[in-house]
Amino acid sequence: MDKIKNIEFLKFLFIFIVIISHLLTTWGSLTTFFPDLYSEGAEKYMVTGLGAYIFYFISGIFLYYTNRNKEVWSVTKYTVKRYLRFFPLVFLYILVAVLIVIHNNNFSVSTVSNSFLYLFLLNSTGLPVMDLSFSVMNFLSSLFWASVIVYSLRRFLEEKYSLFAISLITIITTLFYFNYAFEQIPTNYFQNVYVIFDVFLLKGISGVGFGYLVSYLLFDKFNLSEKRREEIDYKSFGFFLWSLIEIALLFALCYCTVGFPKISNNEFIFVQILLVVCFLLKKGAVSNLFETGLSEKLGRYVFAIYVFHNFIVDALISFFLKHRMFVEQHILLHTLIYIISSILIGVIVYHLFEKPFSDFLKKKFKI
């Protein structure tokens, strides 16, 4: 089993938080409805900056979980397989972004050169000049390269040495990222650390490595298996206690999302990671409640929603600037339209483009 259903639900929940946080920063910078956000600076609303960290972490969880009992692929095969997973969304996103750039008369030679680099997910390697029209690609690029780096360490080294190497690189990148990035936001957020280390790639390796190590501890050292996850005593005190913990973490997650600026970045990440671990253990009522086929289906749309919701944000800003009074009078309606549109676009892109294209590539390359 390559999917853990309740984790798929969490992925959908986390992406929902990301699109909400992007909306809040938009309203915070354009309106007076969120004076706290605006006075503190919308760019400091760090859910948008750190919301992606949990997806690196979950990717690391699955990197170990899905490969622990399989034949070990070569790094080349894994890299190709991973790239083809992202290619449909990357291709479509760049195509749409370039068309928008052309429509806005901002087309240039750098747009073309950067587009080719983004297409091959090279933008988190420090090669291209940052182009904000393609900023969402930094997440996919850094996730891709971080996964390849961690997998390469696993493939080329014996287990005890690979675990040491992954632990070491995770600690180093975490220290670099958490000590550098927050001090530089927003002006240098997309720049490299000491010229060499891309900020997004540091975050990616930190998250993927940490997730990989947690997954190793749970599924290997603590022998967490599909069978053990199904062994639940619903009448036990432990089940009641774990249920309370899961409910408390969900409330804490909600508070972290809307509690800016009282909540620190570390607290937000900590709550998310604890929630993921609780859902992996599946010892409480909430984690069991979302162990459903619907949760698995919702998880399919996460990447498409994330990649394309920025276009909805841009459209929202454009409409707002032309109809400011109307939008401010119907702020809740436009908020609802934004949320529904972001999710709906992700669902449409998945079914009409991402899945058919991915199925074709898998068949074509036989992986």
pLDDT at 224: 79
Report pLDDT digits (tens) over 209-237. Answer: 999 999 999 988 887 777 777 777 788 88
Domain assignment present for residue 149? The answer is yes
Domain assignment present for residue 298? The answer is no
pLDDT at 350: 95
Any idea which residue has 């053990």 for tokens? Answer: 228
Domain assignment present for residue 167? The answer is yes
pLDDT, averaged in runs of 10, over the chain (367 residues): 84 89 66 46 46 89 83 85 91 86 69 75 66 67 93 89 94 80 45 62 92 92 76 83 94 76 69 93 92 92 90 78 75 83 93 91 78
Domain assignment present for residue 314? The answer is no
CA separation for the pair 26, 294 (Å, rounded): 31
Domain assignment present for residue 77? The answer is yes
What SS3 state is found at 186?
coil
Structural domain range at position 65: 53-222
Helix (H) or strand (E) holding 94: helix 75-103
Domain count, the chain: 1
CA separation for the pair 291, 142 (Å, rounded): 29
Long-range contact list for 187-196, CB < 8 A, 24+ apart?
Answer: 189/49, 190/130, 190/135, 190/138, 191/130, 192/126, 195/126, 196/126
Domain assignment present for residue 140? The answer is yes
If you average pLDDT over every residue of the chain, what do you get?
80
The number of residues in the chain equals 367
CA separation for the pair 31, 25 (Å, rounded): 10
pLDDT at 187: 39
Domain assignment present for residue 133? The answer is yes
Domain assignment present for residue 361? The answer is no
CA separation for the pair 40, 358 (Å, rounded): 43
The pTM of the full predicted model, rounded to 2 decimals, is 0.87
Residue 197, strand partner residues: 193
Amino acid at 221: K
pLDDT at 135: 62
CA separation for the pair 24, 21 (Å, rounded): 5
Report pLDDT digits (tens) over 299-337. Answer: 999 999 998 888 887 787 777 777 777 777 777 787 888
